[in-house]
Structure 1
Amino acid sequence: MNPRFAMAFQYYVFIVFFMHISVLHALALNPMIGNVTVKCIESERQALLALKQGFHLNNNAWLSSWGHGDNQKECCNWEHIQCSNETGHVLKLDLHVSDHIVRAGSITTALAELHHLNYLDLSYISFNLTPSIPIFIASLTHLRYLNLSHSGFQGKVPHQFGNLLFLEYLDLGYNSLFAEIPPQISNLSNLVYLHLGSNSFHGNIPPQLGSLLSLKYLDLSENGFNGTIPENFGNLSNLEYLDLSSSYQISLSSGLQWLSHLSFLRHLSLPKVNLSTANNWQQLVSGLSHLQYLDFNGCDLSDSIPSSLSSAANFSTSLSFVDLSGNNLMNSSLIFPWLMNSTSSLDMLNLDHNSLRGTIPEAIGELSSLEYLNLASNQLEGQIPISLFHVCSLRELDLSGNRLSGQFHEFAKALSNCNHKQLQTLKMGWNEIIGMVPDLSSFSSLQVLRLDSNGLNGTLHEGIGQLSNLRELRLGNNSLEGLISESHFSKLSMLLTLDLSHNSLVFNISNEWVPPFKLIKIKLASCILGPDFPKWLQSQHNMNWLDISGAEISSNVPNWFWEFLPTMVKLNLSHNHFKGKIENLPLIPQSALQIDLSSNSFEGPVPAFLSISAQVFLSNNMFSTANLFLCSNVSANTEYLDFQIITLEDSSQIVG
């Protein structure tokens, strides 16, 4: 599971489990007393049958136990139904069967006949004939649990929901509800769980939510709120889960001081909330002694505390997820020591796209539970701590886009000592890493390896071909040399991206070789692939990016190759010695393609099918005419055309 949502999901499961247990216990839902079965109430049985009839079901298996047969008279034995063991009234109706949407027709008013209903779950059912939440649901005033999530509802939340005074659990998430949240929601003083996320609510976040003092779970994420976060959220002293993440930026009225009152908070997610005025955010977060999940991604944060406050006594030792990416943090000597208090539990740390300066402390190796570390796109410098590679739990490490330095074979040695079976992603590109690339075959779980734009030298070990889970291999812009054989790719059946460009590598591969992979992106510029056109490319039907420029190929381009163009976005064959004519082929129009055939020895007419491209580079060739090309539908697709220094029989064609 994606680490950004793992903690949220675990906590959601806990809350749902807690609510199920508490409701089941409170309602005593066993329909049996001794050996006597309580008969269901006939009016409620008829209401359930009318409800089923309104669904217009195509799936005969769903609700198959609901029926008119003689053996179906006892509705308390129907699936998804539970009755009171004292009165026989239907108390629970749970139609949620899976996390896949069930298509149904309408919710009939018959549902309102179940007057004693305490528990109603209609989640993951799409009612195409009931586009809005039916107001009559608000007449079920005994409800304690109501889940209408993932049901495709539009429109407003009925203000009559304020009549559901016993409601403890309300989930309206993942619908298309809009307008403002009705202020009557503040009447639901018993609410423990409120999920309104992933809708289209707009306007201000209603301050009335601050009066729901029993709330432990509040999710308002992914809506269209603007304005500010109500200060009275500080009244929600029992709150354990708070998610206000949004694609629209909301802000604070007077800082984050209200956080200091939420001492039980375990999950805090405020990505994209403007926290630029929260000068003491680190100090406030340090006071949340139960915090496990912190997401302040893209909040315009800056360094806020002196080093004397970096080890506040109450700082949570349970913190496991921290995302502070996309902010304005600058001083690494403030942020790293501040996080060192969570050495026992931190497993995800994301600080990418800040402006962090300074060094990565050696003490980072004490984060013994760390699985994901992203420090990319900062201004960190100095040596990469060897201790970091002793963290044996690492699954993903991204240090790219900094000014770090060090010997790669030393890092690999540290990794080998740990036998990293968990490591899946290693990104260290665009630094100053030097040394040879060692045998990495022992890292069998590795899926992403990015070491591009460093100072790596020597040959590439054939053991890299044993990384059977590898999906992305990027070693471009280094100083690697030597032969590349079929053994380098022997087990790379999962590979999608291959970048060995701008090295001094020579491909020694037979014409009969069929690769085990189906690549999407291929970057082999300046690698020696010639003199013949690489026939193995014929099996790469999925590629949309190919750069084999400067590859010392001097043959013709085979006709089968041009048939790949309609699905490609970039093709670079420049600075080779390609010769011969390019046969004109009928192709499906493609306007996104950038094609570079410059600096070769192509002859004959410029084929018309090249006009499918948005950008065409044909300079420094020996084409004889461009009539077919210029008279085609080039004006509709081509945005840039380079004919510079091209030999044509009649150069006036270009002007025309």
Structure 2
Amino acid sequence: MFVFVLLLLCIGHFINGDHTFGVEVDANLTACHDKERQTLLDINSNLDVWRGKESKDCCQWMGVTCDKYTGHVTQLELYDSSKYSLSGNIIHLLSLLPQLQFLILSKIDNQFHPIPNTLSSLSNLRSLKISGANLSGPIPHQLASFSNLMYLDLSNNSLSGPIPAFLGYMTSLIRLDLSKNRLEGVIPKSFKNLLHLVELDLSENLLKGSVPHFAGCSFMKEAISNSSYMYDGRYMSVLYSPVPDSPGCPSLHKLDLSRNWLTGNLPGSVGKLLNLEYLDVSSISLEGVISDVHFLNLTKLSYLDLSFNPFALNLSSNIRIKFQLRTIKMQSCKLGPSFPMWIQTQRSFAYLDISNAGISDHVPGWFWDLPRRLKFLNISSNEIKGTLPDITSTFEYHPGLDLSNNQLEGMISLSTPKLATLNLSGNRFSGKLSFLCRIDNALTFLDLSNNLLSGSLPDCWQRFREKLMVLNLSNNSLSGEVPSSLGFLSQLQALYLRKNAFVGEVPKSLSNCIKLRFVDLGENKLSGNVPAWIGETLSKLRVLVLRSNRLDGSLPAQLCYLNNLQFFDLSNNALFGNIPRCFGNFKAMARRGFQDANMNHYYYSYMLGGPTQDFDLRRCYAFSSQYKIYCHDDKAVFIDNALVAWKGTRREFERGLYLVKSIDISSNKLYGKIPNEITNLRELVSLNFSNNKLHGEVPKHMGRLKSLESLDLSRNEFSGNIPLSFSQLTLLSYLNLSKNKLSGRIPTGTQLQSFNNASYIGNSQLCGPPLAQRCGPPSPPATVVETKNVEEDGDEFWKSYYMGMGVGFVVGFWGICGTLLPV
């Protein structure tokens, strides 16, 4: 036995490049080869990663390791920690490093070039990782020559085509990661030959077919001694013993097939993967029933994600579960209507999500004895009934709790101080908010909206000054003045107090919350002027809603400093005066896209990765359908809801809010004209100036607002014609010009005739379709506008038209009269 162990150690040292045993070797014994050094210099000419070190021995360069005796480059690791700042097609050069054993290229932009066939010449490779490198095209069959490869990671690229069957015959593979590509077709049957596979990740592709059976792996027997391979730059060893006769893939401990188009049932053979620790089959349309047979023998399972599948989970009440899960994700599975009692066997979970699972039961008392190491609990979007007990667990971390959108009721009496996020929205909780003063300063997210809470806000917000980023107390029965201590929330990015009964002025202390991006204080009883300091200090605001209050006074010009404003609602107040001309300076409403590159606060720290963990776009997409987040590149944007006067009705926007660029100052006492500068806001989607005392002509360049879908100018005193440029508003699907003093012909040949009479009634001098009132001789059709620049909405055409007509009249007049004059 001693000899056998000694042999294994020798093999491990040999593979690591150390050909001696127990002898210290000088790392500088042999310099790198000239040809290989030149190859690295050629690589450097593209990437510039070794600037200033060209004169040194390339074996001493960062990320380069050479054999200590031969000088050949055996390991190359290039990793770009930024977002694609290293760019260049360098992979074809790697074939000139024939002794490479370990290769890592991570986030090196390959500019969508395919994997070169020449890479197959690296027959000594043991570990190959080219992830996040913008590779495209199929996986070339030449890679079949990597007969000794143990680690293959081509994840997070744009690879397409089928998964080649030859990968199933690379029997030395220990880890295979092809996730986050565009691979399609079925999982090859040859994968049953990957007897020593420890990790398999095929998630986030376009794979179809059924989940493969795993019983076939047991038909091969092979004994392999201690082998070493490199995983992200770290050497790891795997000790293999002869394969047992028990069925299943004996080495597999991670299986991730999530976010594909796989269908059918989860095969019972998954329950034969005796060493399985990590199983993720979320979002692949699994059907049928998952029962005891899938779990009875999985003694080592610690991570289980079955989310977003239509199957039913049917575990018997007396099942003897032998594993202790650390992570349980079963969002949008069919677990109910009874509460899943098998969870009582799991006392070590840190993450539990059984949201939207059809549970309409009371939560049993034992459930609230939560594990000390809990990080995140989500039982939201069910119909869970009952009260919330005083959770007395002493948490080791600061967990996030989401109990939202259920039927919980009664007082909130939480005394556990250690919480990172708390969401109790959409229930029937009542009583006061005094419990908030017992929560410690680690709270980052608080949502108590849509309940029956009453009383005034506690004045202890200074305790959350370091962390709290989102505060939502909307749609309750809270009253009193908004406490000035909210101004201590220096990290606050979203403040929602809508639909309560708050009185007094908007507290000036909020000017200290300079990180605010979303402010909604609408539907309260706030009074006073619209504060000028909002424009002077809250420069990051994207959303400002003060609608349906008792605000008066004029619109402060300082609001024009809000260059990032995209959603602006001051409707249904008592504001008077002119619309400032500088409202045309809202730059974010003139630019395409959601202008918030720095928006980085997450809905749940632990759910989406959060500030202290790597961002996981896969998880972000999985949760974006339920939570108010917008996933893009390397961030999750919080986009909570807002009420928009949209196409004649009040509509609540949630996930789509980031797309809506809107101005609504309707139902006030504003007078004067619409400033022409408004037409600079070319990405504006909704504009509502209705029910004011505005007069004059509608700006003739309104056609510049080409993104406009909803326009309401009704119940004002506008006069003159409807501008011909309205014909350019091709996206317009709601129009209301009623109850004004407009006159003349409704422009023809456009979509303006598709609106019904209600869009134009109350303008006694308007004529033409769709109105019954006829006009005189028709004017030239609006389609002639295309002969001129459409940006000038046709006005230049009519100037030329009338000038031409005038010149023609003069020429014709003198042509006729000239014959009558004496010679």
Pairwise TM-score range, normalised by the shorter structure? 0.7 to 0.9
Answering whether residue 416 of structure 2 is matched by residue 434 of structure 1, we say no
Distance 1:112 1:312 in 2: 45
Which of 585, 588, 591 is the matching residue for 1:587? 585
Distance 1:139 1:509, change over 3 A: closer
Answering whether residue 430 of structure 2 is matched by residue 424 of structure 1, we say no
Map Cα deviations across residues 379-411 of structure 1 (whole Å, 9 max, x no partner).
312322232221133221222211112222x2x
Map Cα deviations across residues 246-287 of structure 1 (whole Å, 9 max, x no partner).
xxxxxxxxxxxxx96335432222224456532xx3744444
Distance 1:640 1:155, change over 3 A: closer
Map Cα deviations across residues 554-586 of structure 1 (whole Å, 9 max, x no partner).
333242673376534544445555555543423
Question: CA contact under 8 A between 2:696 and 2:717: conserved in structure 1?
Answer: no
Aligned residue-pair number: 595
Match of 2:175 in 1: 193
Distance 1:318 1:538, change over 3 A: same
Match of 1:120 in 2: 102
Distance 1:538 1:172 in 2: 49
Question: CA contact under 8 A between 1:604 and 1:625: conserved in structure 2?
Answer: yes
Secondary structure of the 2:152 match is: strand
Which of 69, 78, 83 is the matching residue for 2:67? 83
Question: Please, which moves more after superposition, 209-218 or 25-34?
Answer: 25-34
Secondary structure of the 2:384 match is: strand
Alignment of 1:95-494 (within 5 A): 95-96=77-78, 103=86, 117=99, 119-124=101-106, 126=108, 131-182=113-164, 184-185=166-167, 188-226=170-208, 234-235=216-217, 261-273=248-260, 276-278=263-265, 281=266, 283-304=268-289, 310=292, 314-330=296-312, 334-335=314-315, 337=317, 341-342=321-322, 345-361=324-340, 364-392=343-371, 393-408=373-388, 410=389, 413=390, 415=391, 417-438=392-413, 440=415, 442-444=416-418, 446-461=419-434, 463-464=436-437, 466-494=439-467
Which of 646, 651, 656 is the matching residue for 2:740? 651
Match of 1:46 in 2: 34
Please, which runs of 5 or more residues in structure 2 have no aligned partner?
Answer: 1-7, 222-245, 532-555, 591-659, 720-738, 743-759, 767-823
Distance 1:192 1:64, change over 3 A: farther
Match of 2:18 in 1: 29
Question: CA contact under 8 A between 2:67 and 2:73: conserved in structure 1?
Answer: yes
Question: CA contact under 8 A between 1:29 and 1:82: conserved in structure 2?
Answer: no
AA aligned to 1:583 is P
**1:221 Cα shift?**
3.3
Distance 2:15 2:307 in 1: 44
Distance 2:670 2:269 in 1: 67
**1:118 Cα shift?**
5.8
Distance 1:627 1:499, change over 3 A: farther
Map Cα deviations across residues 22-68 of structure 1 (whole Å, 9 max, x no partner).
654446525799688699778x6112221222123599884977747
AA aligned to 1:317 is T
Secondary structure of the 1:567 match is: coil
**RMSD of the TM alignment (CA)?**
4.4
Distance 2:272 2:110 in 1: 48
Match of 2:553 in 1: none
Question: CA contact under 8 A between 1:96 and 1:124: conserved in structure 2?
Answer: yes
Answering whether residue 79 of structure 2 is matched by residue 94 of structure 1, we say no
Identity of aligned residues (%): 23
AA aligned to 1:529 is F
Match of 2:615 in 1: none
TM-score, length of structure 1 as denominator length: 0.75
Question: CA contact under 8 A between 1:497 and 1:519: conserved in structure 2?
Answer: yes
Distance 1:389 1:632 in 2: 59
**1:642 Cα shift?**
4.0
Distance 2:508 2:24 in 1: 77
**1:418 Cα shift?**
1.5
Distance 1:297 1:166, change over 3 A: closer
AA aligned to 1:358 is P
Distance 1:76 1:490 in 2: 51
Question: CA contact under 8 A between 1:214 and 1:238: conserved in structure 2?
Answer: no
AA aligned to 1:398 is N
**1:517 Cα shift?**
3.3
**1:369 Cα shift?**
0.6
Distance 1:648 1:20, change over 3 A: farther
AA aligned to 1:391 is L
Distance 1:462 1:78 in 2: 54
Map Cα deviations across residues 587-626 of structure 1 (whole Å, 9 max, x no partner).
235272244445555555556677754234455x443437
Distance 2:704 2:402 in 1: 41
AA aligned to 1:289 is L
Answering whether residue 701 of structure 2 is matched by residue 640 of structure 1, we say no
Secondary structure of the 2:460 match is: helix
Map Cα deviations across residues 84-122 of structure 1 (whole Å, 9 max, x no partner).
65xx3637233346766783766598865665x261324
Distance 1:163 1:423 in 2: 50
Please, which runs of 5 or more residues in structure 1 have no aligned partner?
Answer: 1-18, 240-258
Map Cα deviations across residues 298-326 of structure 1 (whole Å, 9 max, x no partner).
23334526xxx637784323222222221
Distance 1:571 1:481 in 2: 28
Secondary structure of the 1:498 match is: strand
Match of 1:251 in 2: none
Distance 1:265 1:425, change over 3 A: same
AA aligned to 2:709 is E
Question: CA contact under 8 A between 1:545 and 1:570: conserved in structure 2?
Answer: no
**1:456 Cα shift?**
1.3
Question: Please, which moves more after superposition, 600-609 or 118-127?
Answer: 600-609
Distance 2:413 2:140 in 1: 64
Question: CA contact under 8 A between 2:197 and 2:252: conserved in structure 1?
Answer: no
AA aligned to 1:296 is V
Distance 2:206 2:349 in 1: 34
Map Cα deviations across residues 62-87 of structure 1 (whole Å, 9 max, x no partner).
4977747xxx59x69998334265xx
Which of 506, 511, 517 is the matching residue for 2:479? 506
Distance 1:231 1:475, change over 3 A: closer
Distance 1:421 1:300, change over 3 A: same
Distance 1:169 1:513, change over 3 A: closer
Map Cα deviations across residues 625-646 of structure 1 (whole Å, 9 max, x no partner).
3746686457424322345656
